[in-house]
């Protein structure tokens, strides 16, 4: 992993405590993802679980050395290795599910049409840069990244100089608790709600209250043409919270719940779906710890809720 450079600007210049917490959360993810890109390996083949030179660059530019050392220090014993595995599997599995959904849409898309992908709470996620986005014949692939303005500014610094080549990348600056701002921001940035969308919510919904999360999922359902897909992580559970608190670490999430409860909320918001269970991931990747994912599609009219 690239050496961390603490001399570069890092924390967005904003006194807002919420922005500080968001910065901490996303640099934490970026640090572990950079390490996982370097170290996480498929047990059978020894191949890297995913390819990501961008997270290392982003972490080097945005995570001060002291903050990075603290992140490793708070993982006792085999903790660092487990954390690397956990982030490696989460990244690789989301990559695979998102590309699978994108290829499925492209396979049935009309000539000259668009693949639409929206990454919500994108933080320093570099999928727009690093995934081989498919596109319909004669058409285009578009990736919208939604986050707050200070975080998007931080990202511009973090990934400055790296070209996006496989898609058209667009930014929407908004607070995702304001779903009408999301809808208008996306429309203004060229998203077409009549065309199916792949939505990505990684490490996001837990930062919302259950009500705001429900409202967001409901708004996404309203912006999703048939065929749309959601790939998302669920909030940490109460058990996760207790485990972290036992180690003196405060999680800044607003919601702690079991993945089944997140799926139940998604159903109330107009989605149907399945859980990719931790057991399935542990087996597939040969690791000891993995985070479950949710895969959603718009509920069929008259279908089971």
Which of 211, 207, 209, 222 shows the shortest CA–CA distance to 271? 222
- Identify residues 3-22 at the interface with ligand SAM (CB under 6 A): 22
Using CB under 6 A, which of 10, 113, 148, 224 touches ligand SAM?
A: 148
Secondary structure (DSSP) of 165-196: -SSEEEEEE--TT-HHHHHHHHHHTT--TTS-
Residue 160: CB atoms within 10 Å:
10
Using CB under 6 A, which of 14, 162, 177, 214 touches ligand SAM?
A: 177
CB of residue 26 to ligand SAM, shortest distance in Å: 4
CA torsion sign for 7, 9, 11, 14 is: positive
Q: Which residues contact 160 (CB under 8 A, 6 or more apart)?
A: none
Q: CB nearer to ligand SAM: give 94 or 263.
A: 94
Which of 216, 220, 218, 198 shows the shortest CA–CA distance to 208? 216
Does 198 bind ligand SAM (CB under 6 A)? Our answer is no
Cα separation, 85 vs 259, whole angstroms: 20
Element (H or E) spanning 296, and its range?
Answer: strand 293-298
Q: CB nearer to ligand SAM: give 115 or 176.
A: 176
Q: CB nearer to ligand SAM: give 176 or 299.
A: 176
Q: CB nearer to ligand SAM: give 109 or 122.
A: 122
CB of residue 136 to ligand SAM, shortest distance in Å: 26
Does 207 bind ligand SAM (CB under 6 A)? Our answer is yes
Q: Do you know the residue count of the chain?
A: 305
Q: CB nearer to ligand SAM: give 121 or 134.
A: 121
| Contact by Cβ (8 Å): 62, 158 | yes
Using CB under 6 A, which of 93, 147, 171, 257 touches ligand SAM?
A: 147
Q: CB nearer to ligand SAM: give 133 or 207.
A: 207
With CB under 6 A as the contact rule, which of the stretches 63-71, 115-123, 247-255, 266-274 interacts with ligand SAM?
Answer: 115-123
Element (H or E) spanning 56, and its range?
Answer: helix 53-62
* Count of residues engaged in binding ligand SAM, rule: CB under 6 A: 19
Using CB under 6 A, which of 72, 175, 243, 288 touches ligand SAM?
A: 175
Phi and psi based region of residue 226 (left: phi greater than 0; alpha: psi -120 to 50; beta: remaining): beta
Using CB under 6 A, which of 36, 40, 124, 281 touches ligand SAM?
A: 124
Residue 90 corresponds to which tokens in the numbers above? 């989460």
- Identify residues 217-276 at the interface with ligand SAM (CB under 6 A): none
CB of residue 4 to ligand SAM, shortest distance in Å: 17
Please give the residue ranges that form the binding site for ligand SAM (CB under 6 A).
Answer: 22, 25-26, 29, 121-125, 147-148, 151, 175-177, 202-204, 207
């Amino acid at each position: 992993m690239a050496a961390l450079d603490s001399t570069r600007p890092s924390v967005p210049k904003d006194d807002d405590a919420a922005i500080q917490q968001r910065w901490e959360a996303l640099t934490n993810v970026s640090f572990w993802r950079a390490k996982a890109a370097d170290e996480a390996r498929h047990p059978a083949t020894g191949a890297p679980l995913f390819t990501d030179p961008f997270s290392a660059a982003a972490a080097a530019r945005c995570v001060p050395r002291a903050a990075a050392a603290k992140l490793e220090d708070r993982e006792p014993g085999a903790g660092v290795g487990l954390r690397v595995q956990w982030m490696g599997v989460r990244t690789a599995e989301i990559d695979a599910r998102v590309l699978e959904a994108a290829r499925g849409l492209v396979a049935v898309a009309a000539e000259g049409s668009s693949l639409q992908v929206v990454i919500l709470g994108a933080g320093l996620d570099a999928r727009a840069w690093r995934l081989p986005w498919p596109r319909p014949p004669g058409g285009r692939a578009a990736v919208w990244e939604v986050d707050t303005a200070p975080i998007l500014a931080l990202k511009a610094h973090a990934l400055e100089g790296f070209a996006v080549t496989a898609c058209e990348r667009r930014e929407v600056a908004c607070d995702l608790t304001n779903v009408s701002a999301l809808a208008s921001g996306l429309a203004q940035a060229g998203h077409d709600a009549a065309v199916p969308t792949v939505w990505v919510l990684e490490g996001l919904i837990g930062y919302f209250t259950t009500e705001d999360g429900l409202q967001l999922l409901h708004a996404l359902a309203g912006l999703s043409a048939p065929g749309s897909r959601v790939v998302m992580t669920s909030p940490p559970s109460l058990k996760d919270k207790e485990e972290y608190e036992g180690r003196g670490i405060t999680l800044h999430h607003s919601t702690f719940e079991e993945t089944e409860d997140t799926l139940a909320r998604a159903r109330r918001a107009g989605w149907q779906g399945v859980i990719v269970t931790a057991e399935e991931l542990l087996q597939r990747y040969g690791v000891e710890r993995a985070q479950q994912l949710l895969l959603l599609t718009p509920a069929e009219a008259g279908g089971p809720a």
